[in-house]
Amino acid sequence: MHHFAYRHGVLHAEGISLNDMASQVGTPFYCYSTATLTRHYEVFAQAFAGADSLICYSVKANSNLAVLKTLGQLGSGMDVVSEGELRRARAAGIAPERIVFSGVGKTREEMAFALEEGIHAFNVESEAELTALSEVAAAGGHEARIAIRVNPDIDPKTHKKISTGKAEDKFGVPYARARELYTRAAAMPGIQLRGVHMHIGSQITDLTPFGDAFALLRDLAGQLREDGHSIEFINFGGGLGVPYRGDNDVPPHPDDYARTVRAAAKDLNVRLLFEPGRMIAANAGILVTRVLYTKKGANKTFTVVDAAMNDLIRPTLYEAWHEMWPVREELRKESPQTTDVVGPVCETGDYLALDRALPPFHEGDLMAVMTAGAYGAVQSSTYNTRPLIPEVMVSGDGFAIVRPRPSFEELLGLDRIPEWLK
Ligand code: LLP
């Protein structure tokens, strides 16, 4: 469910015509819907109504300060993976006790900063990291609250580049070694054991791997309590998928996901933590691009648009499918034609869609690339010296540019000429 819909023949973001927005902002740009963000957060939160829970939105999915602030005002905490993300969460007004810190490569400087801030918990991913955290905490007179991230060796049945819960993935501590590591952690200075953590992957559309993983988490929490550790929370990670492709991929409803979680946590009397990213942000954003040219190859048709792989890398990196809607509704009535949607970047991998049956887009037409609110803008780059594209947020009948398009001067001004070239 999202708030991008046709009104009077023109695609709107909530109350705003994307035609109007494009003429004011220029293309390409990302557009986010406040109502959609809010709805998704609330659907997730309501699924856990009555439970002691903390939702830590995964900042990496979309880290624009306006997005973070919108979610923070709804009560969301944040899951961060770098000092930069932690600073963003704090700048958006998120209380430190609602922030968790994940990632396999936290530096000692990042640990010290997060300890100073007083975050809720670190998700520790290895014994070496645990040792470093203990040293940093003890040296600074802090107590680091932690959960150990456990790798359950479960196949989440998603794209291989976004699976994190299999034995060969770099994440977490092998399940079989976790209990022993908790025993060691309990004796380390500056470390307070508080919970267990797992995150098995992203864009998961089947409940079975979640159920299998959560059952293991439940067993582990029980064993750890037997060993005398206080387990106050279980962090179930993120990973709930979204429907990129209409009826073709149907993710579980948050209520069904919640049933699986509740079954695993039953009678444990623990706080439930979550780190959803995509489920909150993906459908709340679109990428609006304009058709520059149409082009007939020897055996293919190409629709050349002004957005490229540097703006949205998901299609070429994960073979991701994003629906493409014409801003002008009339186009949908015409018979579809098969085309590659490609950008101006000088690489064959620069495409947004391959062999896609789409309405016959012509030069100048606006196209909305749907479900682009998560892992879109955050993964963009300036490759080919293309300035990062603007981000716009809509709320009802109003909108604001929440990240302006940088000028070429700003982009070139990031470089410095060394003395010997002057
Ligand atoms: N927690 C941890 C520890 C994570 O590593 C991630 C995502 C999440 C939570 C949030 O997962 P979500 O609910 O969004 O599935 N760039 C890729 C996705 C990378 C996901 C990385 N980790 C893509 O565009 O598909």
| CATH code of the domain containing 408 | 2.40.37.10
Last residue of some domain: 274, 290, 316?
274
Q: Is the CB of 61 under 6 A from ligand 1?
A: yes
pLDDT given for residue 165 in this prediction: 84
The CA-CA-CA angle for residues 283, 285, 286, to 5°, reads 110
pLDDT given for residue 313 in this prediction: 98
Distance 367 CA to ligand 1 centre (A): 27
Cα→Cα distances 124→197, 342, 356, Å: 9, 41, 43
Q: Within this chain, do residues 117 and 254 fall inside the same structural domain, yes or no?
A: yes
Q: Within this chain, do residues 230 and 343 fall inside the same structural domain, yes or no?
A: no
State how many domains the chain has.
2
Distance 240 CA to ligand 1 centre (A): 9
pLDDT given for residue 164 in this prediction: 83
Domain assignment of residue 376, given as a range: 4-31+282-412
Q: Which of 298, 346, 414, 417 is catalytic?
A: 346
Q: Within this chain, do residues 290 and 242 fall inside the same structural domain, yes or no?
A: no
Distance 156 CA to ligand 1 centre (A): 13
pLDDT given for residue 163 in this prediction: 82
Q: Within this chain, do residues 342 and 377 fall inside the same structural domain, yes or no?
A: yes
> pTM of the entire structure?
0.97
Active site residue 346: yes
CA distance 230 to 241: 32
Q: Within this chain, do residues 252 and 298 fall inside the same structural domain, yes or no?
A: no
Last residue of some domain: 274, 302, 320?
274
Tens-digit pLDDT profile for residues 277-332: 999 999 999 999 999 999 999 999 999 999 999 999 999 999 999 999 999 999 99
pLDDT given for residue 38 in this prediction: 98
Q: Is the CB of 375 under 6 A from ligand 1?
A: yes
Q: Within this chain, do residues 338 and 245 fall inside the same structural domain, yes or no?
A: no
Q: Do residues 11 and 332 touch, judged by C-beta distance below 8 A? A: no
Q: Within this chain, do residues 134 and 25 fall inside the same structural domain, yes or no?
A: no
Q: Do residues 288 and 19 touch, judged by C-beta distance below 8 A? A: no
E strands in 248-329: 271-274, 285-296, 301-305, 324-326
All residue ranges of the chain with pLDDT < 70 are 247
CATH code for the domain in which residue 240 is found: 3.20.20.10
pLDDT given for residue 157 in this prediction: 83
